[in-house]
């Protein structure tokens, strides 16, 4: 696992979008450190195709209520 402080700084430097990678891959089931790791993964892999896949996945997560409290 990377240095959490470094990941947090990178995470906070990125503008927010419509949905976060964490919100479609963990939500309430993740600890804060896991959330940062998921967001860091998105930052390292972001591109147009990855964003399209994330937007499509949002619909399945919302309809399936996955990770909702």
**How large is the average pLDDT for residues 38-48?**
87
In a domain, 69, yes or no: no
CA distances from 35 to 8, 57 (A): 10, 17
Quote the pLDDT of residue 67.
57
Cα–Cα distance measured from residue 40 to residue 67, given in angstroms and rounded to the nearest whole number: 20
pLDDT at 34 over 70: yes
Number of domains in the chain: 1
In a domain, 34, yes or no: yes
Residue-wise pLDDT tens digits, 6-32: 777 877 787 777 778 888 887 778 888
Average per-residue pLDDT in the chain? 79
Domain assignment of residue 39, given as a range: 4-64
In a domain, 32, yes or no: yes
pTM here is 0.70
Quote the pLDDT of residue 68.
54
């Amino acid at each position: 696992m990377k240095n959490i402080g470094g990941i947090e700084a990178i995470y906070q430097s990125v503008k927010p979008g419509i949905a976060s990678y964490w919100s479609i891959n963990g939500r309430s089931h993740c600890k804060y450190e896991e959330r940062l790791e998921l967001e860091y993964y998105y930052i390292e892999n972001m591109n147009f195709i990855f964003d399209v896949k994330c937007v499509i996945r949002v619909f399945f997560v919302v309809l399936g209520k996955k990770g909702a409290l």
